[in-house]
Chain A
Amino acid sequence: MLNSHSQPLVLRGTGVSAGLVVGRVVRSPKSTAQLPDFPIQPAQIEAERERLRAALNESRQQLNNMQERLAAELSEQHAEIMTFHLMLLDDPTLLTNIDAILRTDLVCVEQATIRAIERFSHDISQKNNALLRERAGDIRDVGARILHNLALPAGKETETAPTNDAEPHVLVAEDIPPSEAAHMDPRLIAAFITAGGSRTSHTAILARALGIPAIVALPNGIDVLEPGTIVALDGETGEIHVNPDRDTIAAFLQETDRQKAWLSSLLAENHQPAETLDGYQTCLVANVELPSEAMTVHERYNVGIGLFRTEFLFLNSCKLLTEEEQFEAYKTTAETVYPLSVIFRTLDIGGDKFLSQIDMAHELNPFMGMRAIRFSLHRPDLFRVQLRAMLRASAYGKVRIMFPLISTLDELIHALEHLEEVKQDLRRRRIPFNETLDVGCMIEVPSAAILAERLVKHVDFFSIGTNDLVQYSLAVDRSNPDIAYLYQPPHPAILRLIRNVVTVACEHGKWVSLCGEMAAEPLYTPLVLGMGIHELSMSPVAIPPVRHLVRSINMYDAENLVAEALRCGSADEVEALCRKLIAKACPEMLPHAKKCPANGQAPAERLNCRI
């Protein structure tokens, strides 16, 4: 073995599906590497067609089996992808194309297939529609399956996953097509790593649905991950330890066991109120993107919705949604969570989320550019349609509306003027809506946090978006791994901003919600609670641990913690205080709280913090 093999090394990608795994690298075979390529005689055409038919049959059978096996585990959306693959095998246009190439180019069926597949996937990948472009991967995926089956003697069932070894396998590939991801059996493939991909690709969504830890988008590729290499990976942080030492492996394994036991123990508390030992009740709510999620969240966690990111409705559609379509989506959500409430946030596009339906100028600095409320005020036609739809939905449940990225008082006033004009119009037309619905603004720009006292008179609530507030306050782009260590939610400057917002709101009898990753991190729960935040909004999976933590501490201790934290000079000091409190009140939580910061600083010290 080469020297580099035994050297411990840490790689970092994007963690897209949480979980810790220690396992051995297996590589996915490259499918088009030695593709047969030979000319044929016209007399051979029929034989080639027959080979294709056999491969199509085989493919159909594999997909049918897979669909059956996954039916219970996958959502409707994922099942749709499988159906799409199946239908492609019978698609007249695709088959006609393959046949035409076979006849006119006189090449073997492998070449005819790959050329037709490439033509269609290329066409689709050129489309000005992000969702459609993703289908190009599905088409290539189906092509790869057909080619794979062409290469095999008929009737032999094939599994892409290795089945012969009990040791956990970490599948490493340039990219894993969604059907292969769906094919993965969590008992055989413990995790996967791909060089490409993103958080929102189908493969990542499937990984989360199947509960397989996954890391994508490795900046330096996957070359060091040779077959047989031992890796220890964290699907949450995106960290991959290559050839880890014995201690790292032991720590990972121990952690894995703990997490399993832990998660099952939390389920028992699911329907208990989020109330501290000394009787302070807080409200836990969920961040969601689609009406269908509202149902799951409501059923499984019995909570309302603190942040409905409406832009995802648009991102999932090919075109701008009409008022009726938006109204239906908002109404359904409001009715689903009733008697609990839902906060709809108006469109937050720009930054890192773009709609293919709208041409937006390329910006050097999109996070500081035309995004969120700035975009809505720039396009009042779209803004008013959305406001109308939200207002109309308010007649069907407890609906609240908030505006993202308010940075000046003028913006808020303009947004409210639009809202009032839309209300006037609805009144004139006698269309029902809730006259007393709460309207709020997000506090995610430092100027808004500082100026909260001027904003507060115009709103019913504030919602603090910590992700952007941290990014803008500390001038740190958190997607840049080299400076990710600066991304510090418990930074005393952030705490002071939040404190100001809460104080101002309380003085005026308004309420404050906090959404963002800070709310989802149990380590910071005492801080957030102690500052007097009324509602914590987080991704649904974070609700059980946060609920457990709330139920384990005293509000009194949380308030003292905040007083002490506000006197600190650094995020590390604050974090140490949080750990101390949790170590005392809820020690079982510590191993499950946030890991060391992304730069990997002082992991030893953090490990020591674990009891």
Chain B
Amino acid sequence: MPRQAQPSNGVVSALVTVSNTRGLHLRCAGELAKLAAAFASHISIRKGKHQVDAKSMLEIITLSASPGSKLTVSANGPDAQSALDAVVSFFDNNLGDP
């Protein structure tokens, strides 16, 4: 079952959309990994059945998330909520693209 179905165990999740024109490309993936690495919580990103560690640029690019893709972000740990907020706002702000 998707993780957002069980919010009680400390996992927080949100749905985000790849809103820029180039998709989750190399630079975005790098920025996202850097952003995620600043948090203690475990952060994952899921596209369909494919789930990756948000702190690994290598894994993020394997999502090949194209423009318009819907992704589920989940965070689990001491700073889960702030980690989730930071990642969501990254996606809301066009993934750092102009």
CB pair B53 A319 closer than 8 Å: no
Alpha-carbon distance between A88 and B65 when the two chains are bound, in angstroms = 19
Alpha-carbon distance between A135 and B26 when the two chains are bound, in angstroms = 10
Residues of B within 8 A of A167 (CB): none
CB pair A124 B55 closer than 8 Å: no
Residues of B within 8 A of A493 (CB): none
The yes or no answer to A609 lying at the interface (CB within 8 A) is no
CB pair A357 B57 closer than 8 Å: no
Residues of A within 8 A of B62 (CB): 123-124, 127, 132
Chain B residue, CB-CB nearest to A76: B27
Residues of B within 8 A of A120 (CB): 58
CB pair B57 A84 closer than 8 Å: yes
Alpha-carbon distance between A94 and B58 when the two chains are bound, in angstroms = 8
**Chain A 325-361 near chain B by CB (<8 Å), digits 1 or 0:** 1001100000000000000000000000000010000
CB pair A318 B66 closer than 8 Å: yes
Main secondary structure of the interface of A (DSSP, over half): helix
CB pair B21 A80 closer than 8 Å: no
The yes or no answer to A282 lying at the interface (CB within 8 A) is no
CB pair B27 A80 closer than 8 Å: yes
Residues of A within 8 A of B76 (CB): none
Q: Which of B13-52 contact A (CB under 8 A)?
A: 20-24, 26-27, 30, 33-34, 37
Query: Chain B contact residues (Cβ within 8 angstroms of A): what range?
Result: 20 to 34
Alpha-carbon distance between A328 and B67 when the two chains are bound, in angstroms = 13
The yes or no answer to A83 lying at the interface (CB within 8 A) is yes
CB pair B56 A317 closer than 8 Å: no
CB pair B58 A93 closer than 8 Å: yes
Alpha-carbon distance between A135 and B62 when the two chains are bound, in angstroms = 10
The yes or no answer to A91 lying at the interface (CB within 8 A) is yes
The yes or no answer to B88 lying at the interface (CB within 8 A) is no
**Chain B 62-97 near chain A by CB (<8 Å), digits 1 or 0:** 101111110000000000000000000000000000
CB pair A132 B64 closer than 8 Å: yes
Alpha-carbon distance between A321 and B58 when the two chains are bound, in angstroms = 24
* Known pairs A132-B64, A319-B67; A83 contacts B30 (CB<8 A): yes
Chain B residue, CB-CB nearest to A138: B26
Q: Which of A111-133 contact B (CB under 8 A)?
A: 120, 123-124, 127, 129, 132
Most A Cβ at <10 Å: residue of B33, B37, B55, B62: B62
CB pair B56 A321 closer than 8 Å: no
Alpha-carbon distance between A139 and B58 when the two chains are bound, in angstroms = 9
Chain B residue, CB-CB nearest to A356: B64
Residues of A within 8 A of B33 (CB): 87, 91
Alpha-carbon distance between A80 and B53 when the two chains are bound, in angstroms = 21
Alpha-carbon distance between A127 and B59 when the two chains are bound, in angstroms = 13
The yes or no answer to A316 lying at the interface (CB within 8 A) is yes
Residues of A within 8 A of B30 (CB): 80, 83-84, 87
- B residues lining the A interface (CB < 8 Å): 20-24, 26-27, 30, 33-34, 37, 53, 55-59, 61-62, 64-69
Query: Can you spell out 23 A-B residue pairs with CB atoms less than 8 angstroms apart?
Result: A80-B26, A83-B30, A84-B30, A87-B34, A88-B58, A91-B33, A92-B37, A92-B53, A93-B55, A94-B56, A94-B58, A123-B62, A124-B61, A127-B64, A132-B62, A139-B58, A316-B22, A318-B23, A318-B65, A319-B23, A319-B68, A321-B21, A328-B21
Besides the known contacts A129-B64, A318-B23, 10 further A-B residue pairs in the complex with CB atoms under 8 A apart? A84-B26, A84-B57, A91-B33, A91-B56, A91-B58, A123-B62, A124-B62, A317-B21, A321-B21, A321-B67
- A residues lining the B interface (CB < 8 Å): 80-81, 83-84, 87-88, 91-94, 120, 123-124, 127, 129, 132, 135, 139, 316-322, 325, 328-329, 357
